[in-house]
Amino acid sequence: MKSKLFIIACALVVIGAAAGGTLYYLYPVQVSTLAGMTRNYLISWSVPPGATTTELNPAYKAPPGGCGLAPRGLAERRSRRLAELQQNAYIGALL
C-alpha cells in the first residue's frame, strides 16, 4: 500500500514539474515573477509576529496641490469626449 502511494506521489511530482517547465518555456517572465512572489510569500510565513513592517520614507513630502488630475476631473474629461463622439456619430448617421 505504501509503495502504491509513493508511486502516485512521484507521478504527481513529475506531472507538476512537466507542467511548470512547459509554462516556463511558454511564458518565462510571468512564471518567474509568480515564482518569486510565491517564494517571498512562503518565506514570510516563518517570520516572527511583529517583525514585518511597511517601509516608510521619513524624507517624503507630498507634492503641493495633489498630483495632477483628480479622479473626478478625469471622469469629466472622458464623459465630455464620449458625448462628442456620440454627437459626431449621430450627425454622421443623418448625412
Mean pLDDT by 10 residues, the chain (95 residues): 91 95 94 92 82 69 60 64 70 62
Separation CA 84–CA 91 (nearest Å)? 11
pLDDT at 46: 84
| Number of domains forming the structure of the chain | 1
- Decide if 87 is inside a domain: no
- Decide if 55 is inside a domain: no
Q: Name the residue range of residue 39's domain.
A: 1-46
pLDDT at 24: 93
- Decide if 25 is inside a domain: yes
φ/ψ of residue 59, rounded to 5: -90, 0
- Decide if 23 is inside a domain: yes
- Decide if 31 is inside a domain: yes
- Decide if 32 is inside a domain: yes
- Decide if 3 is inside a domain: yes
The DSSP-derived string for 12-81 is HHHHHHHHHHHHHHH-HHHHHHHHHHHHHHHHHTTSPTT-------TT--PPTT-SS--HHHHHHHHHHH
- Decide if 69 is inside a domain: no
pLDDT at 13: 96
